[in-house]
Structure 1
Amino acid sequence: MIVAVTPGLATAGEAPPDGSAWTIDGETYDVNPVTLLDEGDLAMVQLWRLAHPSAGRIGGMAGGVIPVAGHLPDAGGAGDQPAAMMDAFRIMAAAEAEATAARER
């Protein structure tokens, strides 16, 4: 998830601009970590984004103020979703919050 929410990483190419290595969440990668994601990883991020759109998608005076809720993958409410999916969403939300806090420091 951190790879998916790191600005510019998806379009940065295989090697870091400065020629060193990629360091994300304390781990070092010789190649862009985006290249390590498979279709399942990307699909999970897409589902999570649909369920948890960023506040930046609301403009005007409501931007960042109104809580943003999206669509869950299966019909029904949170209790109708697979437990593993909801656990994954919780982990992904925590990873995004951690990445956002790290960027703001």
Structure 2
Amino acid sequence: MSDELLELTGQATPDEIVAMWWLQQLLNAGFQGARVGEDPLEPVMLGYARWTFDVVELVRVYSPSKAEAARLVGGKIALEADGTVREVVRAVLGWPKMISVVRGFPS
């Protein structure tokens, strides 16, 4: 679909629909999301974060085909992923559960 047609119809492309489904999985897993940029209708990127004391997981989405993620432990990058939204979200949700010194063992 052309950008003009999308603007007229307000419909998402198949790639956008797939990306939205995967981003919903992040929300279901406890991530919080926000639009980043001056214009909320035209964000520069979407940002998602989940944290537990000393473990922070971040996902940045620029388009359905471009996303990146990192897990920081104690402020240092422990794991990274980049690729399509689908690839990145699958990687992030597949990362091993972390044991936090403050929190203890995962339930």
Alignment TM-score, normalising by the size of structure 1 = 0.24
| Higher RCO (CA < 8 A, seq sep 6+) | 1
Instruction: Please report the TM-score for the alignment, with normalisation by the length of structure 2.
Output: 0.24
More strand by share: 2
